[in-house]
Amino acid sequence: MPRRTSVDRAYLEQHGRHWRVSVNVPAVVRDIIGRPKLRHDLGTDSLRTANLLKGPYVARFKAQIQEALTTVGRQRQSTTHEAMELAKWAREAKERNTSQEDWDEYHQIISERTVEIRTRNAMPVELPAIDNDGPGLGWINRPEDVAEARRFGRIAYQAGTPFAEFHEAYVKGSQVAARTKADDERSLRLLLQWLQNENVDPEIERITPLRAHAFAKRLPTLADVAPATCNKYLSRLSSFWAYLATVTEVAASNPWVGVALRKTGPKSGEEERPFTDTEVAKLLLGPASPHMLDLMYIGALTGARLDAIVDLKVQDTANRVILFQARKTETHARYVPIHPLLEPVIAKRCQGKAPEDDLFPEWPPVRKVGSMRERSFKASNHFTDYRRLVGVDEVVAGKRRARVNFHSFRRWFISRAEQAGVEAAMISAIVGHKHGSITLDVYSEGTTMQRARRAVAKVKLPPLDGSPIREIQTVRARTR
């Protein structure tokens, strides 16, 4: 039910016997306007008459303030941000010797702004006559304005801290891929949507562990994605809350810790797998384009991820090593020795190019501004089409991804290195996996290049001369 009031004091204050219009001037433009408030005496002691007369003056003062804000290159603050600044002032005021006069002004500003927000879109309505005074003037406030005024008061009086206001700075400062930043944005939108549906204020204090678990349970339906993707969103919210703890003390406890949906792993025979030697030979002997063939050779003989290969520059291949930048959960760039069979491939790719040129100009960076696609997107599609063309495929009914893809080269390299007797720590160093040991992950400078070069050379390609290929027998059975 819209709120109805018989009198309205928004933008009005009594001065002596008369009412006058009064509009607060934002601090950022007070020097331009020359005063903290804009006022005009209405020349009447009747509140009803003052309400009828104030409109043009309020509009003129607001236009003057907006012009000043435009001059300094700022738009009028959102009411949420305005309330947060008041709350910040109050927190700081408690730590210093603040006068009662300043505190009175603080309370007066909140009171006036709350009334202003609540009544800014009020619709006039005629009320029955009171005695001989004639018909009165009433007002109907919009429910959304009443709710916004209530939120403004809660925030200004430090009863709630809105978290969405901190998200832009968090995303801007996070060192993650564009796609992960998109997950940050979507996870926030989904949380705000759920809170709105549940009629819960989007404030840090309202997000308890119980509410975090309730949101997680609702997330698969709300987002229409698989549990694994839901867990990615929940992880991004946890990361955001960890950031909040660095900027506001009310977020000292992270309600998202341990909040996750149970993932159901692939059944036996459905998980993604390495290529077999026969499949590697098919891929390398098939009618691939020269750049696709070079891409596959590098993938097979380094175990590197597709996007890391496509991003390489000529200067990343100096001194008989390849410099791969960190990807996914990797924390450091790494040098990988160039396999003897790769040396002619790399030499051909670098011929006639400057150090800063792309090693694979055939797949340039995505040009569309704001695109979340990785540079390797087209290379991945090209490889998928080629892989299917030569008959290297394994599709599981009901699954979007095949059991084999370009990442299967990485799995093949790791498997063949292990079977050649390369120790696990060396394999992890070459492909960028964590060792699983604090000593090696944190304190070690890493393995020597000489040992790494011998390890890489132990990985052998299957025969590419048409001779029979004998698959290596492993202890782990391959599901039919």
Q: What's the whole-number average pLDDT of the chain?
A: 86
End-of-domain residue from the set 110, 125, 156: 156
pLDDT of residue 330: 74
Sequence-distant (6+) residues with CB within 8 A of 457 are: 337, 339, 340
Residue 7 has pLDDT above 60, yes or no: no
- DSSP H or E stretch at residue 124: strand 123-127
Instruction: Annotate 275-290 with DSSP letters as a single string.
Output: PPHHHHHHHHHSS--H
Confidence of residue 184 (pLDDT cuts 50, 70, 90): very high
**Side-chain-side CA neighbours of residue 310 (13 Å):** 20
The Cα 251–Cα 2 span in angstroms is: 35
pLDDT of residue 94: 87
Answer yes or no: do 171 and 206 share one domain. yes
Question: Do 35 and 123 belong to one domain?
Answer: yes
Residues 224/230/233/238 CA torsion (nearest 10 deg): 140
Q: Taking residues 270-278, report their average pLDDT.
A: 91
Residue 88 and residue 9 share a domain:
yes
Residue 98 resides in a domain: yes
Strand partners of residue 21: 12, 40
Q: Is 300 within a domain?
A: yes
Up-side HSE of residue 70: CA atoms within 13 Å toward CB? 6
Classify 312 in phi/psi space as left (phi over 0), alpha (psi -120 to 50) or beta. Answer: beta
173 is a domain residue: yes
Shared domain for 94 and 196, answered yes or no, is no
80 located within any domain: yes
Number of domains in the chain: 3
Range of the domain at 123: 3-156
Phi-psi region of 184 (alpha: psi -120 to 50; beta: other; left: phi over 0): alpha
CATH of the domain at 218: 1.10.150
Q: Are residues 214 and 246 in the same domain?
A: yes
Is the same domain home to 299 and 400?
yes
Q: Within a domain: residue 341?
A: no
**Is residue 284 located within the same domain as residue 402?**
yes
Identify whether residues 142 and 80 lie together within a single domain: yes
User: Does residue 132 share a domain with residue 101?
Assistant: yes
Instruction: Give the domain-ending residue among 156, 172, 200.
Output: 156
Residue 262 in domain = no
User: CB–CB of 188/167 below 8 Å?
Assistant: yes
Give the pLDDT confidence of 42-83 residue by residue, as tens digits. Answer: 999 988 888 888 888 888 888 888 888 887 765 555 788 888
Any idea which residue has 């003390």 for tokens? 249
Residue at 132 is within a domain: yes
Q: Do 33 and 118 reside in the same domain of the chain?
A: yes
What six digits make up the tokens of 147? 């709710």
Q: What percent of the chain has pLDDT over 90?
A: 48
pTM exceeds 0.85: no
- DSSP-derived pairing of the beta strands 18-24 and 12-15: antiparallel
Same domain, 169 and 303: no
**Per-residue pLDDT tens over the stretch 145-181:** 888 889 899 888 988 899 998 999 999 888 887 788 8
Core vs surface per residue 47-73: b (16+ CB within 10 A) or e = bbebbebbeebbeebeebbeebbeeee
Residue 477 has pLDDT above 70, yes or no: no
Tokens 């292990």 identify what position?
A: 418
Question: Which amino acid belongs to residue 211?
Answer: R
Q: Are 455 and 426 in contact (CB under 8 A)?
A: yes
pLDDT average, residue stretch 394-409: 88
114 in the same domain as 193: no
Confidence of residue 127 (pLDDT cuts 50, 70, 90): low
Let me know if residue 243 belongs to a domain: yes
Q: Which of these three, 100, 124, 156, is where a domain ends?
A: 156
Rounded to whole angstroms, how far apart are CA atoms 155 and 203? 9
